[in-house]
Structure formats: C-alpha cells, structure tokens
Structure 1
Amino acid sequence: MSASDFSSAHSGLMDRVYRHQRHIYDLTRKYYLLGRDRMIAELDPPAGGTVLELGCGTGRNLILAARRFPDAHFYGLDISAEMLATARASIARAGLSDRITLAQADATAFDAKALFGRSGFDRVFVSYSLSMIPGWERAVAAALNAADGSLHIVDFGQQERLPGWFRTLLRGWLAKFHVSPRETLLAEVGRQALALGRNPHFSVLYRGYAWLVVVDGPGSS
C-alpha cells in the first residue's frame, strides 16, 4: 500500500469512527483528555503570531486558544472530513472564522505552504492525536519541521502510578476508538528534538495519566 493509499484508508477509518460521535465528542472527552487546557495556556504566542494544531478534530482547542490569545492567527489540520465539518461549524458559531483556518491533511505528511500559504509557525501543538495516528513518529517529525518556535504535545501517558485495574479499563475503552497510548512517546520526541539541536522538556501529569511535552524553538538556549 502506498503512502497515499494508507492516508486515504486512515481518513476513511476516522470518518467512520467519528461520523456520529463528532456531535458529542467534546462533551464526552472533556472528562478524560486531561492537560489540554494547561498546554493551551502555555502556548503564549507572540503578538501577531501564528499557531498550528495537528489533528484539530472538532476545533475545540483552536477556539479556546484563539479566545485566550486574541492577537494570534490559528491554523488546524485533520485527516477526517467529518471532524472538520464540525470544526468549521463550531468556529463559525464562535465568530472566529477570520482568525482560524482549517484544512484536511495527514499529520504525518503535509505541505503547510500549499495548505496555508506559510511553511512555519510560531507555535505548533498536538493534543491527544499521536495516540491515534499510525506512523505517529512521522507526525512528530512533521510538527518539529513546521515549528519555527516551540512544539507542545499532550497525550496519554502510561498510567504508571495509577492502579492496574484503572489502566486496564482505560486501555480497553480507548481501543474501541483506535486509540493506543504510545509507550515510547517521550523517548522518540526527545531523540528527534535533540537530533535537531532543540531542547525537550517533559512533565508527567496526574500520576502518569498524561504526558506534557514542550520542545524549545530552534536556537533557544
């Protein structure tokens, strides 16, 4: 299967999974996608800056970030046309269509210049998407390549300090939605960042429930 065919297959899968769930996604996920708001608060883009989200889903994070940082312009991409339909409607209702631009694309291989007319962004963030993306390591590389400034990631950790029964139940629930916490996430982001001469910073949230990663921009001390 070619990369294009693989991308199309994953796009179709995500559309099937979220065709109906997209209508209640934000209501149900707010209870267990922990750490998103902290990550957004720490973006702190410069005045007039640009922010890109990979795997923007329903647009919830972009709307929250755009309200918090009214001087920045926001961009989002997602592989699912169904999710983007919800995102566009939500962004329009929020009155933010002039500050948030969306495009359908694969987070592991996208041309930001062709999609958005720019190749780099002051901030790039990825919220609970790497655990859903086949070939997620390539998405990390693409995010680093697009980040002229810092890269911010929040996703499921390994729940190492939580009871075993909780981890078992969580993993079983997530598997129903093709979500798989990435055991090597911290190591892989660290490896790629250091190879580019960029400094990674890791935080373990809620006893290992989630991991928060910030990679400094190029040239940061």
Structure 2
Amino acid sequence: MAAPQATAAGHAAAMDRMYRYTRHVYDLTRRPYLLGRDTMLAALDPPAGGTLLEVGCGTGRNLVRAAELHPGLRLFGFDISSEMLKTAQASVKSAGLSSRVALAEGDAAVFDPRSAFGIDRFDRVIFSFTLSMIPDWTGALRHGLALTDPRGSLAAVDFGGCERLPAAARAGLSGWLALFGVTPRLGLEAEMHRLAVGEGRDLRFARPLRGYAQYGIIGLVGVA
C-alpha cells in the first residue's frame, strides 16, 4: 500500500496536470452543471464576524461569492492543486478581497489550519463539488468536521446518483464526469449521518434536481 504522503503527492500532481490550462476557463465551463453551490452559500447564516473554511477552494469562486453575500465574514480556503491556487489568488485580488480571504495549499484529509492560518476551528466549513474528486473522501469529511467549531456547521454539496433521472441521462452524465476523474459519492448521506451521530449533531440532507445533486448540513439542532 502506498504511503499517505505518496498518495497525496500523486493526487496533487494529477490535479495540477488537469487544471494547469483548464483553470483559466473552469468557472465559465462548470457554471451550467455545478448546481447548488449558491444555494449552499446563501444559507450559511454565519455569526457576526464569523469564519468560513472552504475545503478544495479551486478557483476561489465560492469564497468571493460568500464574501459578497456575507459582509464581515472572514474567509479561508485551501486546495491541493497549486495551479488552481494561482487562479484563486488572482480572483481574490481582482475582487479586492485580499484583506478578508486567506489561501493555502494542502491535503483535505490532514490540513493543519493552525500552521496555515493561525486558527484551529471555523464557524462554517464547506465542501463544494470536491468530495467526488478526493480519493480519501471519508477522511476529508471527517477531518472537515474536526475543523468545525462545536457550535458551527459543515455543509457539503456534490453530484448525486441521479436516481430520478432517465437511465440515458444517468449514463451520459456518469461517462462525462469520469473524463474528469469525478466519482459521485453515493454513500455521502450515510457517512454524514454516521459522523453527525458520533458528534451528537443534527444532519439535514436533500437530493434536489431529481437526485442530480446531494446536499447535506451537519450542525447542532437549529443551526444552519
């Protein structure tokens, strides 16, 4: 079995190869089918002066949008791809948000925010269409919850099983996603439920758009 460090290094190299050039058109080309991101961001309801961490922040698009939606929110993001982070840094600077958004490079399953940002836990932690590209997605989700403040919440949106879509549509989407190394995590609800129960938290979960997407929030009862 490969060592964790070797596995992470291999994944980082693969992501850099994939996004070295496509990062320049990523946001434009993904807009039609990364559905549910803005719904998640709008529902964050962070506390005044709160903090948000995005796991796998990619181009920084979600961080910029969250900053626009929630004035006063302090934002942090990291990604395993140094290529994607180049675009994220440029996006944050272009939006005039360099004083509110901090970025770092790291692996979702072991990222140390204290070393990168000087913070241990965050009021809101989000995964946006990243779990389906992280090899150790259960480890990443578990670690993300560990980085969530006890009174905060963790939200994840990603591709679902398309169970209420026609068979041809399911097959076509599956083939298309495979070209980009994307594997829908059909066990996402079960894993989020297991983590929520283990931490004594509440889970709300939905499969909108006829199962095209899946969207879960782990938090205290009554906390968005």
Identity across the alignment (%) = 52
Whole-Å separation in 2 of the counterparts to 1:182 and 1:32 = 17
Superposed displacement of residue 81, structure 1: 0.2
Q: Indicate which of 150, 155, 160 corresponds to 2:153.
A: 150
TM-score of the two chains, using structure 1 as the length reference: 0.97
Judge conservation of contact 1:197–1:218 (CA < 8 Å) in 2: no
Q: Deviations over 1:105-144 (max 9, x none)?
A: 0011111111110110000000000000001000110110
Counterpart AA for 1:189: M
| Residue of structure 2 in register with 1:100 after alignment | 101
Structure 1 residues 144-183: aligned runs within 5 Å: 144-148=145-149, 149-183=152-186
Superposed displacement of residue 198, structure 1: 1.0
Q: Deviations over 1:158-216 (max 9, x none)?
A: 00000111111111111111000011111011111111111111011100000110111
Indicate yes or no: 2:84 matched with 1:89. no
Indicate yes or no: 2:81 matched with 1:110. no
Structure 1, gaps ≥5 residues long: none
Aligned residues between the structures: 220
Counterpart AA for 2:171: T
Whole-Å separation in 1 of the counterparts to 2:158 and 2:222 = 26
Whole-Å separation in 2 of the counterparts to 1:86 and 1:5 = 25
Whole-Å separation in 1 of the counterparts to 2:90 and 2:216 = 30
Q: Deviations over 1:35-77 (max 9, x none)?
A: 0000000111111100000000000000000111111100001
- SS of the residue 1:153 aligns to: strand
Whole-Å separation in 2 of the counterparts to 1:219 and 1:77 = 28
| Residue of structure 2 in register with 1:76 after alignment | 77
| Residue of structure 1 in register with 2:19 after alignment | 18
| Residue of structure 1 in register with 2:9 after alignment | 8
Moved runs in structure 1, 4+ residues, more than 6 A? none
Whole-Å separation in 2 of the counterparts to 1:106 and 1:145 = 14
Whole-Å separation in 2 of the counterparts to 1:79 and 1:193 = 26
Indicate yes or no: 2:7 matched with 1:27. no
Judge conservation of contact 1:51–1:123 (CA < 8 Å) in 2: yes
- RMSD of aligned alpha carbons: 1.2
Structure 2, gaps ≥5 residues long: none
Counterpart AA for 1:159: C
Judge conservation of contact 1:57–1:87 (CA < 8 Å) in 2: yes
- SS of the residue 1:20 aligns to: helix
TM-score of the two chains, using structure 2 as the length reference: 0.96
Whole-Å separation in 2 of the counterparts to 1:219 and 1:104 = 33
Superposed displacement of residue 85, structure 1: 0.2
